[in-house]
Structure 1
Amino acid sequence: MTIYMREDVEFVKPNAKKHPQRSSIQHWQLRDLIACPNSKHEFMYVNQNNVYQYNTEHKQVTPILKDLTFSPTSITTGHGFLAAGGQRSQLMVRQLSSNWCAHTTVGGSINNAMCISQHLGGTRLLICNNDETIKVYSLPGMQRITSVSLPTAVNYAAVSPDGRKMVAVGDSPQVFLFDISASDGYARVATLTASNDAGFSCAWNQSSEKFAVASQDGYVSVWDIRNTGEKIAKLGSKQNPQVKGACRSVKFSPTGSIDLLMYSEHMSYINVVDARTFNERQTVRVAPSSSDQHISGITFSPDSKNIFVGMESNVWEFEVDTMNRRCFPEGSII
C-alpha cells in the first residue's frame, strides 16, 4: 500500500480566527476536549473543572457544567447530550435542551473517552475505561445495559452513524471491530492491527463505510468496512517519530460532500486529508513558529464548514474551502 501524497493543497483557508478561550488538558495522552454539537457559531471546551460554551458571533461564554467535583479528562456530545468523564471513573451527563443532569461514578479507573449513539430509537452512552471495559448505559435513564470486555485498557470507541458497527482502540496496537445487534449485543467480528503502539482515537465517516484510528507512534490507519483485510491508507504525522508527533485525535467531516479527514498531533500541528483518495494532505501549524504548544482537541462544525482547534491559551477557528471540496475533477467517480 503505497500512496503518493500531494502536500500543496489548501483544504482550510489561512487567516484563522483566534478565540481567547483557554482549554485545559488533564491527562497528557487524552486530547478530545472540544466539541461543536449544534452550530458552527458555538463550541464547547473544558477549562479546569468546568465545561463552557462559547458563541463566536456574540463573544459570549456560557457555563454548561460548572464547578464539577473533578476536572474532565474527556468529553463528548451527541443526540442532545453532553458527557464528561474523570480520572477516578467520575461521570457527569447533561441534557442540553433541559436542566436534567446525572452525576455518578461508573467503577474502574480513568474514563478515557465516551461515545453517545442511537440504538433502535433510543440513546446510549458508551464509556471507555482503563479497567479494560466499555460500559454501556441508556440515556437519559442511566441504566447499565451491558459491559463489553477487551484485552487491554480501552482508550476510545466510536459507533458508526448507521448504528450497526463499533470500533474500539486501547493500550495496544490492536483495533477491535464489533457488530451491534438488534438486541443488546456487541459482537467482536474482527481484530486488526493499526501500527506499533497504542491507539488513542477512532472515527467513522458519515456513510459508515470507512473508519480511522489514530496511534501514539504518529500514524493514522484507515480501513473500508467492505474489505478490512487491507488498510486503504496509512498516514504519518509531520513530527513522526518524535513523541510530539503522536496522533491524538482523528475526525471525519460529518457531511458527505466535504469528505475530509482531520487528525491532530500531540503538539503544534493538525493535518487535513482528502477522504476520497487519501493522497492529498494539508498540514497546518497551529502553534507559533518559535515554540511548540499542546493541542487539547479538534472538531468539525456540524455542517463541516469550520474546524476548531483547542489550545491551552486559545481556540483557533479555520474556515473549510467548501467550494473547492464540492468541485470534483473531470472524470472523478463519486
Structure 2
Amino acid sequence: MGSLAESAFTTSQARHDLTTTIHHWQLRDLVAAGDTSDELLYVCDSSVFQYNLSTREVTAVLCLDWSPNSMTYAYGMLAAGGPSSQLCLKDLREKRVIHRDPLGGSVNNAVHIARMAGQLLLYACNNDHFVKVFNIGPHGLTPSTSFRTQVPINYCALSPDERYLSCVGDCAETIVYAVRESSYTRLHSFREAHDTGSSTAWSPSGTYLASAHQDGTLAVWDIRSASPVHRYQLTSACRNVKFSPGVLDLMAFAEHEDLAHIVDVRQWAHVQHLNAGCGQGRDISGIAFAGAADRLWVGLDDCVMSYDLDSVGRRTFGYGCLC
C-alpha cells in the first residue's frame, strides 16, 4: 500500500464463535453494531442474529424465508435486503416488523438508513439501476422518491449534513448527488479506481468521502476538492469502508479475505493491519465500529473478531500538537 507507518490503534482483540454467511460474493456488509458497544448484529443463513459480548447470548431477531445479501442497523431500525427485491424492516426497540414485502425490481445490493430533517429514510440500492427512497413510519414504508442510475448501484451513503448522497456501483466512479428535499441531482464524480465500487462512507464531519473498489483501490477525497486526500492500493479486492463515529478520527477498510486495516484520519499514512483471518483465506463478511467508537467488529465466515480501540489515547494529544 505504498509508504505507510505501522501504527497501533487497538489495545486487545478477541475471537467469538459466530458464523456469518455471505450470499453474494461481492456484497459484504453483513455485520452491524447494535445500540451498545457489546451488541453486534450479523447475518447467518436466512436469519439476522444479535450477539451480546457481555452475556455471550445469541438471539435471533429476524427470521426470513430468504437469505439476506444486505443488512444495516441505525436508529433502532434493522433492515435486510434480498436477492429478489425482498425487504424486511424491523423496529428492534419496539420489537415490531414494519415492512416485509418485495420492493420490485432485482437484487437489493445494499440498504441504508439515514435521518433527514428529522425524518427516518430507507435507501434501497437495487440492481435494476434504481435507488429507491422511502420514509420510515411507525406502521410502514411510504415511497419518497426513486431515481435511475446509469449503472446498478452497489452501495450508497448520505452525508452527515444531509446535502449529498454518495454512490458506488458497477463502474469505477464514485458518484455524488446533491440532495434537496426529495430531489437527487447528479453533482459530480470522483475516479481513482479502474473497477466496480463496493462501498462508500462519509467521515462524521462530512468533510471526507471514501470508496472501496474491486481492483483493491481505497480512495479518500475532501468533498471540497477534486484531488484525492489519500489512495491505498491493495493486492486484493477492497469490499468495505467505515469511519469511526465521534472524535476518534479513524477509518477502517476490509479486503476480500483475512485482512482489515485501521487508518489514522489525522495522518493518513499511519495504518494498523489486522490479520483477522490469520492468513487462512477466510472470507470477510463486513466491518462495523461500535457506536461509542471503542470497538471494531470484523465478521468472518467462521467467527467474528472484536478489536478494542485505544479511545483514551485517541482523545489525548501531546504537547504542542494540533489537528
TM > 0.5: yes
**Counterpart pick for 2:94 among 82, 86, 98:** 98
Report if the CA contact (8 A) 1:194-1:213 is conserved: no
- Output the amino acid matched with 1:56: L
Q: Secondary structure at the match of 1:292?
A: coil
Q: Secondary structure at the match of 1:324?
A: helix
Q: Does 1:24 align with 2:21?
A: yes
What TM-score do the two structures reach when normalised by structure 2? Answer: 0.96
Q: Does 1:296 align with 2:285?
A: yes
Cα pair distance change 1:194/1:114, threshold 3 Å? farther
Report if the CA contact (8 A) 1:194-1:215 is conserved: no
- Output the amino acid matched with 1:152: V
Partner of 1:273: 263
Q: Does 1:75 align with 2:66?
A: no
Residues in 2 aligned to 1:288 and 1:232: alpha-carbon distance in whole angstroms: 30
Q: Secondary structure at the match of 2:10?
A: coil
Partner of 1:253: 244
Q: Does 1:323 align with 2:312?
A: yes
The 5-angstrom pairing of residues 1-334 of structure 1 reads 4-7=3-6, 9-14=7-12, 16-66=13-63, 68-101=64-97, 102-140=99-137, 141-181=140-180, 183-227=181-225, 229-237=226-234, 240=235, 245-256=236-247, 258-289=248-279, 291-334=280-323
Residues in 1 aligned to 2:16 and 2:219: alpha-carbon distance in whole angstroms: 31
Residues in 1 aligned to 2:48 and 2:150: alpha-carbon distance in whole angstroms: 32
CA displacement at 1:94 relative to structure 2:
0.3
Structure with more of its chain in strand, by fraction: 2
Q: Secondary structure at the match of 1:304?
A: coil
- Output the amino acid matched with 2:242: K
Alignment gaps of 5+ in structure 1: none
CA displacement at 1:149 relative to structure 2:
1.5
- Output the amino acid matched with 1:216: Q
Residues in 1 aligned to 2:23 and 2:255: alpha-carbon distance in whole angstroms: 17
What TM-score do the two structures reach when normalised by structure 1? Answer: 0.93
Aligned residues: 320
- Output the amino acid matched with 1:314: C
CA displacement at 1:38 relative to structure 2:
0.8
Please list every run of at least 4 consecutive aligned residues from structure 1 whose deviation after the TM superposition is greater than 6 angstroms.
none
Describe the superposition over 1:166-202 as per-residue Cα deviations: whole angstroms up to 9, x where unpaired.
1000010011111211x21112111221310010000
- Output the amino acid matched with 1:64: V
The RMSD of aligned alpha carbons is 1.4
Alignment gaps of 5+ in structure 2: none
Report if the CA contact (8 A) 2:2-2:232 is conserved: no
